Structure 1
Amino acid sequence: MGLTSPCVLLLLSALLISGNTQERSKAVVTLHPDLQQIFTGERLTLRCQIQGGENNTEWRYFFKRDDVDIGSSESELKIESVEEFHRGAYTCVGKDTSHEKYSDWSDEVMLTVTDRPQPVLRVSPSWLNPGDSVTLSCEVGDSSTGWSFFFYRAAPSLPDQPYSVELLSDREQTTGNSSTLQLAAPSHTAGYMCRAGRGETVYYSDYSNPQFHWSGDQISSVSLSVSTNRSQHLVSESVSLSCELKGNSTGWTLRRYTGSELYTVCSSVKGSTTGSTCIIRSLNVGHSGVFWCESGSGEYSNAVNITVHGAFKYNVSVRLSSISEGLCICLQIDGGSSQSQSTNLVLDGVQIANQNQAPAGNAPLEHRQGVEAGPSDVTYAQIELKKMKKPKRKTGKQAESEEDTIYSKVAQDLPLVALEQMT
Structure 2
Amino acid sequence: MVSSKLQEHTVYVTESDAGKYSCHVTETEGSGVSQHSDEVTLTVSEEAQTVLSVSPQTWLTEGDPVTLNCKVNSSSTGWTFSWFTVSSVNTDKSVCYEPLSDSRRGPGGKHTVSSADLKHTGVYVCRAERGNPAYKTWYSNTQPLWVTGVSPPVSLIIRPNRTQHFLLVSLSLSCEDQSNSDGWTVRRYTESWGLEDCSSFYRASQTGSTCTISPTLESDTGVYWCQSESGEEYHPVNITVHSGVILESPVHPVTEGETLTLRCLYKLASPPILSADFYKDGSLVQNQTTEMIIPTVSKSHEGFYYCKHTARGESPESWISVRGSRSESQISVLKILTSVLAACPYLLVTVVLIYKCCRMRNKTPE
The TM-score normalised by the length of structure 1 is: 0.50
Residue equivalent to 2:111: 181
Q: Which runs of 5+ in 2 are unaligned?
A: 247-263, 265-272, 296-301, 309-366
Of 101-110 and 265-274, more deviation after overlay is shown by 265-274
**What do residues 263-303 of structure 1 show as CA deviations (whole Å, max 9, x unaligned)?**
34653356422234332212244433332345675433321
Look up the SS of the partner of 1:99 in the other structure: coil
Residue equivalent to 2:288: 361
Tell me, in whole angstroms, the C-alpha distance in 2 between the residues paired with 1:76 and 1:234: 65
Residue equivalent to 2:26: 95
Cα deviation for residue 138 of structure 1 reads 0.6
Pairwise CA RMSD: 4.3
Out of 75, 85, 102, the residue aligned to residue 143 of structure 1 is 75
Aligned AA (2:233): Y
Kept in 2: contact 1:156–1:298 (CA 8 A): no
Tell me, in whole angstroms, the C-alpha distance in 2 between the residues paired with 1:157 and 1:244: 26
Q: Does 1:170 align with 2:104?
A: yes
What is the percentage of aligned positions where both structures have the same residue?
Answer: 30
Cα deviation for residue 199 of structure 1 reads 2.1
Kept in 2: contact 1:241–1:278 (CA 8 A): yes
Residue equivalent to 1:281: 214
Q: How many residues align?
A: 263
Residue equivalent to 1:342: 279
Kept in 2: contact 1:152–1:166 (CA 8 A): yes
Cα deviation for residue 146 of structure 1 reads 1.0
Look up the SS of the partner of 1:206 in the other structure: coil
Kept in 2: contact 1:146–1:198 (CA 8 A): yes
**What do residues 98-132 of structure 1 show as CA deviations (whole Å, max 9, x unaligned)?**
212122342132141644x4411112221113532
Aligned AA (2:54): V
Residue equivalent to 1:64: none
Tell me, in whole angstroms, the C-alpha distance in 1 between the residues paired with 2:42 and 2:136: 23
Cα deviation for residue 254 of structure 1 reads 2.2
Written as runs of structure 1 = structure 2, the 5 A alignment for 1:123-138 is: 123-124=54-55, 125-138=57-70
Residue equivalent to 1:383: none
Aligned AA (1:287): D
Aligned AA (1:279): T
Out of 160, 163, 173, the residue aligned to residue 231 of structure 1 is 163
Tell me, in whole angstroms, the C-alpha distance in 1 between the residues paired with 2:6 and 2:292: 87
Tell me, in whole angstroms, the C-alpha distance in 1 between the residues paired with 2:181 and 2:89: 15
C-alpha distance 293-123 of structure 1, shift in aligned 2 (>3 A): farther
Tell me, in whole angstroms, the C-alpha distance in 2 between the residues paired with 1:73 and 1:148: 34
Look up the SS of the partner of 2:115 in the other structure: coil
C-alpha distance 142-209 of structure 1, shift in aligned 2 (>3 A): same
Q: Which runs of 5+ in 1 are unaligned?
A: 1-67, 314-330, 344-354, 369-373, 381-423
Aligned AA (1:93): H
Look up the SS of the partner of 1:181 in the other structure: strand
C-alpha distance 236-78 of structure 1, shift in aligned 2 (>3 A): closer
Aligned AA (2:115): A
Look up the SS of the partner of 2:61 in the other structure: coil
Cα deviation for residue 153 of structure 1 reads 4.3
Tell me, in whole angstroms, the C-alpha distance in 1 between the residues paired with 2:220 and 2:63: 31
Cα deviation for residue 93 of structure 1 reads 1.9
Residue equivalent to 2:146: 214
Residue equivalent to 2:134: 202
Aligned AA (1:256): Y
Residue equivalent to 1:409: none
C-alpha distance 333-274 of structure 1, shift in aligned 2 (>3 A): closer
Look up the SS of the partner of 1:172 in the other structure: coil
Cα deviation for residue 219 of structure 1 reads 4.2
Aligned AA (2:106): E
Tell me, in whole angstroms, the C-alpha distance in 2 between the residues paired with 1:375 and 1:306: 16
Aligned AA (2:65): S
Kept in 2: contact 1:256–1:292 (CA 8 A): no
Out of 227, 238, 246, the residue aligned to residue 305 of structure 1 is 238
Tell me, in whole angstroms, the C-alpha distance in 2 between the residues paired with 1:232 and 1:239: 11
Residue equivalent to 1:20: none
Tell me, in whole angstroms, the C-alpha distance in 2 between the residues paired with 1:141 and 1:152: 19
Aligned AA (1:90): Y
Tell me, in whole angstroms, the C-alpha distance in 2 between the residues paired with 1:136 and 1:268: 31
**What do residues 294-328 of structure 1 show as CA deviations (whole Å, max 9, x unaligned)?**
56754333211223343449xxxxxxxxxxxxxxx
Written as runs of structure 1 = structure 2, the 5 A alignment for 1:7-406 is: 68=1, 70-79=2-11, 81-83=12-14, 85-97=16-28, 98-112=30-44, 114-115=46-47, 117-124=48-55, 125-143=57-75, 145-155=77-87, 162-173=96-107, 179-188=109-118, 189-217=121-149, 219-220=152-153, 224-242=156-174, 254-257=187-190, 263-264=194-195, 266-268=197-199, 271=202, 272-275=204-207, 276-294=209-227, 297-312=230-245, 341-342=278-279, 356=285, 361=288, 377=305
Residue equivalent to 1:47: none
Tell me, in whole angstroms, the C-alpha distance in 2 between the residues paired with 1:228 and 1:364: 18
The TM-score normalised by the length of structure 2 is: 0.57
Tell me, in whole angstroms, the C-alpha distance in 2 between the residues paired with 1:298 and 1:157: 15
C-alpha distance 165-244 of structure 1, shift in aligned 2 (>3 A): farther
Look up the SS of the partner of 2:24 in the other structure: strand
Select the structure that is richer in helix: 2
Aligned AA (1:236): L
Aligned AA (1:290): V
